[in-house]
Structure 1
């Protein structure tokens, strides 16, 4: 009996340590308050860089502090932001503004405006790329509104995006202990994200909507696409290009979602890493159920499944993470934007091209930043 207890403890210890690590990391790092949403006035600089971000959120507004909290709202609120981007930034780490602002080192909001829905859509259409593409970022678990907003600005700055990306911010509790609450909030946000996507797709100017979901945001993205499919909105689903980074989705739930969604014109892309320790913790919370974001592309079973389900599974382990857990590698992908665009454009010309790939960060400057990890099979 005692030996069985010891074996059980040994089995769960790694996941418990990761969960404790998550709590420790969050507790040691000072998280930004809604004060960072207040616009500041800066003197013009020769090296000044600005980026814009559009937001849609179903969080309830915090009328006292001027931000948005974790309570669920019945309607979407739309905003437009302008950011000053620091020239001396280090990797993907975000330096938030302080009372003594250093624009050389810190991001800062320099413009903020609430928009009516029609005005929001109009602004979004101004950001549509020449090929008709527009992008929506859906953040993951344990994110506040301001954290998700600044992360979107960082990605936009590093990717040198034309126009303003769109952030969809759902009411995460922004707390390590809020995992279950966040999952409920994500599920409750399906119709809100559905509404946003549908509003944008209604324009003939929009040919392609890149729906990028990170972690639990990937779960929300898949549930929303599934809902659209069950509503027979093929006109909307047909415009979607789904990218899931470190998706916190149970493998069997994902299979079920894929069955309901069926074949999409553009195959779903998964950005995975088998050493993602945050997903080890979520797997433990879920009764040691495997997560999609930790798929091992060297496993022949995974490779065959990628072909069967028409997925592009891309291992991004070579990209350095900044969170100590290997869960935020997606934030570093922005600087490889040109290479990713080249890869995606080539694959889009043969939309059935699916399989397993490895992203080689060291060789990203070459024409083809992806090297094949095993057999890549064409359309089935």
Structure 2
């Protein structure tokens, strides 16, 4: 006789949820981490431009999960401590100290999207769109960590949408991301039209990857092909997108040059939960590059799908490997750039920083 308890798949999902919830039990950074403190001796100081659909308290400047009617703009200067450990964020205590933690040393509200130019000539930029269950400080300091560890020459821009910053806020976050689609598309149009902006890299993580693809689809459907053509690179890390939905999205967007890069890991626990919440619908970010169906999908739609499972996991969710992957960039930038011209499914060898082809 079949019982009426939780089935095998449901039990596995609940166990995975428990693992992620336990990993999230540590206190999360609050608004105090954005307190502006004097500069101190630090390994690096970064300027990050923020464009956000989050509401902002006019008195305190605190970003909330309220949905703003228009984009808020601000520039943050972030200090990276001298003893920073790659792929980590050294979170400050109640009072940030730039000598031993990430710290904000300046905040400057902006009237519009004002790119911080480090020198003469056109300024390359990288737009980072964060994922689900992210507070504003977490997304800001993660971009600072990636920029510092990757020695990125591009000006970092954080597109911060109003995530609720809670594990149980998945549906609310999906709505908040969708709410922000028009603003992301409009911001990309602003960057594309700026003659002082050089190459534009668009990087979406997790649910932010879904938002990126939705914005590209909207640009294509509205005839803004010139904006898409201005994008030098589109990268989706662990994208939280239903496989069938992704297929429909890329059918509209069409092939990109260079190809859209998708970073996947079959052991991604966060996307396992996401699939469970979506009725066991598989997510593109958790597909296996060794699957013939996945290889065929990547070639058919002209995308570069890369399994990055060999990269060390940053935390128990196995969902943030991009934070470690960026360390390969300084030494292997040229080789990885050449590999970006390929389509199909590959595995990344972290030792040689080369792509190993799986399909024939």
Q: Judge same fold: TM > 0.5, yes or no.
A: yes
The residue that corresponds to 1:359 in the other structure is 348
Could you tell me which of 145, 150, 156 is aligned with 1:159?
150
Tell me the residue number matched to 2:334: 342
Maintained 8 Å contact 1:357/1:370: no
The Cα RMSD (Å) is 2.0
1:12-34: per-residue Cα shift (whole Å, max 9, x none)? 111111122222222x2111111
Corresponding residue to 1:78 among 69, 73, 80: 73
The alignment status of 1:371 with 2:360, answered yes or no, reads no
Of 20, 29, 32, the residue aligned with 1:32 is 29
| Correspondence list, 1:23-102, <5 A | 23-26=21-24, 28-43=25-40, 45=41, 48-63=43-58, 65-99=60-94, 101-102=96-97
Per-residue CA deviation, residues 143-172 of structure 1 (Å, 9 max, x unaligned), is: 011110011111111111235300000000
- Structure 2 vs 1, CA of residues 215 and 273 (structure 1 numbering), >3 Å: closer, same or farther? same
Structure 1 portions without partners, runs of 5+: none
Post-superposition offset of 1:338: 2.8
Aligned length: 359
Give deviations 1:160-188, integer Å, cap 9, x for gaps: 12353000000000011100000011111
> What pairs up with 1:248-287 in 2 under 5 angstroms?
248-287=240-279
Shift in alpha-carbon separation, 1:269–1:60, aligned structure 2, 3 A: same
- Considering fraction of residues, name the structure with more helix: 1
- Within a 5 Å distance, the mapping from 1:1-380 to structure 2 comes to 1-3=1-3, 5=4, 9-26=7-24, 28-43=25-40, 45=41, 48-63=43-58, 65-99=60-94, 101-117=96-112, 120-121=113-114, 123-124=115-116, 126=117, 133-162=124-153, 164-240=155-231, 241-339=233-331, 341-347=333-339, 351=341, 353-361=342-350, 363-364=351-352, 369-375=353-359
Q: TM-score, normalised by structure 2?
A: 0.94
> TM-score, normalized by length of structure 1?
0.89
Contact kept, 8 Å, 2:122 with 2:196, in 1: the verdict is: no
Structure 2, unaligned stretches of length 5 or more?
A: none
For 1:330-357, what per-residue CA distance to the aligned partner results, in whole angstroms no more than 9, with x for missing partners?
1112211135532343246xx4x31222
Cα distance in structure 2, aligned partners of 1:169 and 1:114: 15
* Distance in 1 separating the partners of 2:271 and 2:200: 27
